[in-house]
Amino acid sequence: MIVVKTVQELKDNIWAYKQGNQTIGFVPTMGYLHEGHRRLLEEARKENDIVVLSVFVNPLQFGVGEDYESYPRDEERDEEVAKKAGVDVLFLPPVQEMYPTNPSYSVSVKSRVNVLCGKTRAGHFDGVATVLTKLFNLILPDRAYFGMKDAQQVAVVEGLVKEFNFPLVVIPVETMREEDGLAKSSRNVYLTSHERHEAPTIYRSLLQAKRAILEGCHNQEEIKSVIKAEIQSKTSGQIDYIEILSYPELSELMKLKGRIIIAVAVKFSKARLIDNITFQL
């Protein structure tokens, strides 16, 4: 595995792979790698000649008062995980390498962002789209892999790739979960032991809502009430949102049909957890 920390080193290696007509699978992350990231890397390894992993905590996607400074980081551990997963190139740039000057340009995302996490995190997806535009242009991947735990991000990235005609395919990968159903996340380390015991309720509430829909309940307020009651009665978390939308358009539904997403965000004392399920009606 090659570890590179500069844009020029990265470009030199990518150029060599492209000269050899090798396909590139790319997994962009903010590090503190867990089994969900390993699943993305496994999928990339199966389908490509070369696997490139980036670890970069992108300041542009953090708002005022969010956890940029305290976001968990462990480069040494990330390198070990990357080696075991068969990564060929690990890109570990410092902030000044990705943004050597105050950015003069950025990508502004206008659709799929005024709901779910985007509603309360103004500019977040602009930051995501900006850094991915830079990374896609540097790495020139054939395929890029994203976890469906952040389904809104997947929808935004699919829109970005389509809008700007990036010659790559976005590969969504199913959410990895703990044995009790909690979605794997770098932010799970912020949960207290009591909160960690409560947190799987989020996924169970989504499954209850899905079952209600499949059994014929299509009243969206009733479905949301099922989720709300479960979370409020069995956790100390505060519900940020409960949404039922079309997917990947993330539009309101007058009638439940087609592919839908049920998504939830819950705030605990030091962690805000998101989860979702998508399915076809």
Average pLDDT over residues 182-205: 95
**Judgement on whether residues 138 and 12 belong to the same structural domain of the protein:** yes
The domain tally of the chain equals 2
Instruction: Compute φ and ψ for 14, nearest 5 degrees.
Output: -65, -40
**Judgement on whether residues 162 and 202 belong to the same structural domain of the protein:** no
**Judgement on whether residues 169 and 197 belong to the same structural domain of the protein:** no
Read off the pTM: 0.93
Domain termination site, one of 127, 145, 173: 173
**Judgement on whether residues 194 and 165 belong to the same structural domain of the protein:** no
**Judgement on whether residues 22 and 61 belong to the same structural domain of the protein:** yes
Q: Evaluate if residue 122 carries a pLDDT over 90.
A: no
Residue 187 assigned to a binding site: yes
Domain of residue 204 covers 186-280
128-151: pLDDT as tens digits: 999 999 999 999 999 999 999 999
**Judgement on whether residues 141 and 200 belong to the same structural domain of the protein:** no
Residue 147 assigned to a binding site: yes
- Confidence tier at 207 by pLDDT (50, 70, 90): very high
Taking the C-alpha atoms of residue 90 and residue 4, their distance in angstroms, rounded to an integer, is 6
Residue 258 assigned to a binding site: no
160 in a domain, yes or no? yes
Taking the C-alpha atoms of residue 57 and residue 66, their distance in angstroms, rounded to an integer, is 13
Mind telling me the catalytic residues?
Answer: 37
144 in a domain, yes or no? yes
229 in a domain, yes or no? yes
Taking the C-alpha atoms of residue 75 and residue 64, their distance in angstroms, rounded to an integer, is 25
200 in a domain, yes or no? yes
Fill in the amino acid letter for 269: S
| Strand (E) or helix (H) holding 265 | strand 259-267
**Judgement on whether residues 123 and 7 belong to the same structural domain of the protein:** yes
179 in a domain, yes or no? no
Residue 70 assigned to a binding site: no
Residue 61 assigned to a binding site: yes
For 252-260, the CB contacts below 8 A with 24+ separation are 253/220, 255/218, 256/213, 256/218, 256/220, 256/281, 257/281
Q: What is the mean pLDDT of the chain?
A: 96
Domain termination site, one of 135, 150, 173: 173
26 in a domain, yes or no? yes
CATH of the domain at 218: 3.30.1300.10
181 in a domain, yes or no? no
**pLDDT for the residue 64:** 81
